[in-house]
Amino acid sequence: MLTGSIVALVTPFTEHGNVDYTALKQLVDWHVEQGSDGIVAMGTTGESATMSHDEHVNVVSAVCELADGRISVIAGNGSNATNEAVHLTERMAHLPLAGFLNVNPYYNKPSQRGIIEHYRACCAASDLPQLLYNVPGRTAADVLPEQVAELAEIDNIVGIKEATGDVARVAAIRQLCGNDFLLLSGDDPTSCEFLLQGGHGVISVTANVVPGLMKQMVSAALRGERAQAEQLDGQMSALHEAMFVQANPIPVKWALARMGKMEPNYRLPMTVPELPQQQHIEQTLQQAGLLSAESE
Q: Out of 2.40.30.30, 3.20.20.70, 3.40.710.10, 3.40.50.720, which CATH number does the structure's domain 4-232 have?
A: 3.20.20.70
Cα–Cα dist 133/159, whole Å: 9
Q: Which segments of 79-168 does DSSP mark as H helices, in order?
A: 82-92, 112-124, 136-139, 145-151
> From CA 34, how far away is CA 88, in angstroms rounded?
30
Distance from C-alpha of 161 to C-alpha of 199, rounded to nearest angstrom: 10
From first to last of its 296 residues, what are the pLDDT tens digits of the chain? 899 999 999 999 999 999 999 999 999 999 999 999 999 999 999 999 999 999 999 999 999 999 999 999 999 999 999 999 999 999 999 999 999 999 999 888 888 889 899 999 999 999 999 999 999 888 888 889 999 999 999 999 999 999 999 999 999 999 999 999 999 999 999 999 999 999 999 999 999 999 999 999 999 999 999 999 999 999 999 999 999 999 999 999 999 999 999 999 999 999 999 999 999 999 999 999 999 755 54
Q: Answer yes or no: is 203 a known binding residue.
A: yes
Pick the closest to residue 135 from 110, 163, 96, 114 (CA basis).
Answer: 163
Q: What does the alpha-carbon distance between residue 74 and residue 43 come to, in Å, rounded to a whole number?
A: 9
The candidate with the shortest Cα–Cα distance to 177, out of 135, 206, 148, 208, is: 148
Sequence ranges of the domains in the chain: 4-232
Ramachandran angles phi, psi of 218, nearest 5°: -60, -45
Instruction: Kindly write down the DSSP assignment for every residue of 218-232, as one continuous string.
Output: HHHHHTT-HHHHHHH
Catalytic residue ranges: 133, 161
Distance between CA atoms of 7 and 40, rounded to whole angstroms?
6
Cα separation, 144 vs 185, whole angstroms: 15
pTM of the model: 0.96
